[in-house]
């Protein structure tokens, strides 16, 4: 299986992790950064902004141990599920929200 790639600021191919979470970022923010691996996102939790828009506030995920977890974000949610799964997760939430 080939890893997912994206183009970084220098125009070079790299993984989503390297493009959005540089080593420097991880090291300086390690106390406030959680990375979940081997987990499946079930739902993106949305909330309202002061201007009436929607903002991602957290996710509900299923981990490899079989448990379901609700993870809340103080600042931002970064969804890195690949070129196929990221749009699927966002579409699932969008259709549930507007049905």
Query: Across the chain, how many H-helices and E-strands are there?
Result: 3, 5
Rounded CA-CA distance 86/40 in Å is 11
Does the global pTM surpass 0.75? no
Same domain, 90 and 42: yes
Block means of pLDDT (10 residues each) for the chain, 99 residues, are: 65 75 74 77 85 86 91 83 81 60
pLDDT for res 47: 85
Nearest Cα neighbor of 16 from 80, 83, 79 is: 80
User: Containing H/E element for 46?
Assistant: strand 39-48
Total domain count, the chain: 2
pLDDT for res 67: 92
pLDDT for res 28: 78
Same domain, 27 and 49: no
pLDDT for res 2: 54
Same domain, 59 and 22: no
Coil, helix or strand for 42? strand
| 37, 18 Cβ separation under 8 angstroms | no
User: Residue 27 is part of which domain span?
Assistant: 1-33
pLDDT for res 83: 80
Same domain, 26 and 41: no
């Amino acid at each position: 299986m080939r890893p997912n790639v994206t183009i970084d600021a220098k125009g070079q191919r790299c993984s989503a992790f390297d493009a959005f979470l540089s080593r420097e970022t991880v090291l300086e923010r390690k106390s406030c950064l959680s990375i979940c691996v081997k987990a499946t996102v079930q739902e993106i939790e949305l909330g309202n902004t002061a201007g009436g828009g929607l903002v991602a506030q957290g996710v509900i995920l299923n981990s490899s141990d079989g448990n379901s977890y609700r993870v809340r974000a103080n600042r931002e949610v970064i969804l890195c599920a690949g070129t196929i799964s990221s749009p699927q997760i966002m579409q699932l939430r969008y259709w549930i929200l507007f049905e």
